[in-house]
Structure 1
Amino acid sequence: MTMDDHAVQAALRELSCTDVSDAMDRLGINGQCLGIMPLDRTFRLVGQAWTLRYGPVGEDPGTVGDYIDDLGAAQVVVLDNQGRMDATVWGDLLTSTASRNNVAGTVIDGVCRDVDRALELGYPIYARGNWMRTGKDRVRVEATGEPVSIGGVRVEAGDWLVGDGDGVVSIPRARAEEVITAAEEIRDAEERIRQAVAEGRTLREARSEVGYHRLQTYRAG
C-alpha cells in the first residue's frame, strides 16, 4: 500500500543518515550531500524540500527573498548558493521566524551566520560552514520551487531530506518508499549483528550470518 507523506515522515524519523545512505547505494540513487554538515552534531532533520536557487548579482540589485512566512511544519528550506563561502543567505531573523513556524530545518549549499541563535533555539541548520558577511547586494534570487544542487545532489521541491550528525541525504520523493524498505532492512540486519557481538560472537561470524557485505551492494532492477 502506498504510504502518505505522514507515514513517510514517521518512518524516516526512525532511520539514520547512514541507514538511508546505504539503502540509496543499494538502489543506485545519488543522495548524499557532500560537505553539508550540521552546526551542532545533535541536530536532527526530517522533512520535504522547499527550494530556492541563488546567483551572483550583476548590474541589477541583489535580492535575498521574503519567503519564510509562507513555510511551516514538515518543510525544509533548501538554499542553493552555489557553495559560496563569502556571503551568507541565512541568519538570525530567518532562524527566529522559521523556529516560530515549526519549519523542519534549513539546508544550504553555502554558509549561514548568527549561529548562536540557531543553537539557542535548537533550530537545525546544515551548511558548509558559517561566516558573518551578508549576502545582501551580493546574491540574487534566481528561482524558487525548481531543482537545485546541494553538495552535488539534485534536490527537487517535495523531495525528502534526512539529517543527523553525519550530514544530510536527499531522497527523491517518488522513491521514498523503496528507500525506506531497504533502509529498514539494513538497519535491522546491523542490529542483529550488534546483538550477536554483545552475546559473544565474533564480528566476522555475525557479519557472515546476515550477509553484511552484500547489504549495501547495488542490485539492478
Structure 2
Amino acid sequence: MEVMTNSYPVRQVDVNYDWQEIQSRYLTLYTGLVSDALEHLGYHKQCMASGVYPLTHTMKVAGPAFTAHGVATPSRDTKVHDIRLGMFKSMKPGIVQIRDTQGDTSCGHFGEISATAAAAHGCVGAVIDGSTRDSNYLIDMDFPTFCRFRNPVEAFGRFMVVDYQIPIFVKGMDGLLKVNPGDYIFGDNDGVVVVPSDLTIPVLELAEKWFASESRSREAMATGRDPFDVYKEFGRF
C-alpha cells in the first residue's frame, strides 16, 4: 500500500497474521533451528553473513522487514536527508528495520535517536548491515540492535538513507542476500535469518515441531541413553 503524505510516500506491508502472536512464537526458538527449517524447504542461502550480532547476547529480534536503502555520500542536501525522517510515517507496530549500507565503513549508520523515533512508531528492533553508534543508549533502552561493528562518527555528510520499503541486498553467507519488505527477520546471538514472507508460518510451524523433538532428545541424552536410539526415536540431534 502506498499513499503520499507531506511529499513522502507511505509504504506499508500488510501481513495476514497476528504479529504479536507470531513474534512471541519465533522468540521462543533460535536462529539455527529456523535456518534448518528453511534448508529443509529448499532455501539454503537465507542467513546474513557472519558478523551481524546483537549489542548484547540476550537481545533477540523477530518481525516483518521494514527495509531501508542507504548510500555513502558527502551530500548534506536536507531534502534527501528528510527521506529518513519521512520513512517513519510508513512504520507499523511489530516491524523490524533492516538497513543496507553498500559496505560503507565511514560512520555509524544507526543510533539512539533513530531507534527512539522508530520505537515510537512501533518498530521492535533494527538490523544494520553496517555499524551503529550510541551503543550504551541502545542497550539501556533495551532496543534490540544488530550490527557488524560500532563507530562513533556521525552519518550526516557521509551516508544517507535514500529510499525505503523497497527490495534491498545485504551481505549473505554466499554472496548478496535479497530482503523484500515483509520478509520475516529473526535474529539472536548467532546471527540473522531472513524468511521469505510467504514462508513465515510454514517455517515457524516446522521449527516448532523440531524444537519439541529436540527438547525430548536433549532430556533423553542427559540420562545417558544410547545416542543412536535417541536419534532414531526423535530424529533431532
TM-score bracket for this pair, using the shorter chain length: 0.7 to 0.9
Q: Partner of 1:163: helix, strand, or coil?
A: strand
Contact 2:106 2:158 in 1 (8 A): no
Write the letter of the residue equivalent to 2:222.
A
Q: Work out which structure has the larger RCO, using CA pairs closer than 8 Å and 6 or more positions apart in sequence.
A: 1
Structure 1 alignment gaps of length 5 or more: 214-221
Equivalent in the alignment of 1:66: 85
How many equivalent residue pairs? 211
Deviates more, 1:123-132 or 1:83-92: 83-92
Equivalent in the alignment of 1:90: 110
Equivalent in the alignment of 1:31: 46
Write the letter of the residue equivalent to 1:207.
Y
CA–CA distance in structure 2, aligned partners of residues 87 and 181 of structure 1: 40
CA–CA distance in structure 1, aligned partners of residues 182 and 136 of structure 2: 29
CA–CA distance in structure 2, aligned partners of residues 121 and 57 of structure 1: 30
1:1-221 correspondence to structure 2 within 5 Å: 4-6=17-19, 7-29=21-43, 30-34=45-49, 35-57=51-73, 61=77, 63-64=80-81, 65-67=84-86, 69-70=88-89, 71-152=91-172, 153-212=177-236
Q: Partner of 1:212: helix, strand, or coil?
A: coil
Q: Partner of 1:151: helix, strand, or coil?
A: strand
Identity of aligned residues (%): 27
Q: Partner of 1:81: helix, strand, or coil?
A: coil
TM-score, structure 2 as length reference: 0.80
Q: How far has the Cα of 1:23 moved from its partner?
A: 0.5
CA–CA distance in structure 1, aligned partners of residues 42 and 102 of structure 2: 25
CA–CA distance in structure 2, aligned partners of residues 96 and 61 of structure 1: 23
Question: Structure 1's 51 and 198: CA in aligned 2 closer, same or farther, altered over 3 A?
Answer: same
After superposition, give the CA deviation of every residue in 1:76-104 in whole Å (9 maximum; x if it has no partner): 11111123222222112112233444421
Write the letter of the residue equivalent to 2:69.
R
Contact 2:72 2:104 in 1 (8 A): no
CA–CA distance in structure 2, aligned partners of residues 67 and 21 of structure 1: 34
CA–CA distance in structure 1, aligned partners of residues 119 and 24 of structure 2: 20
Structure 2 alignment gaps of length 5 or more: 1-15
CA–CA distance in structure 2, aligned partners of residues 60 and 46 of structure 1: 33
CA–CA distance in structure 1, aligned partners of residues 222 and 236 of structure 2: 17
CA–CA distance in structure 1, aligned partners of residues 171 and 209 of structure 2: 27
**RMSD of Structure 2 on Structure 1 (CA):** 2.2
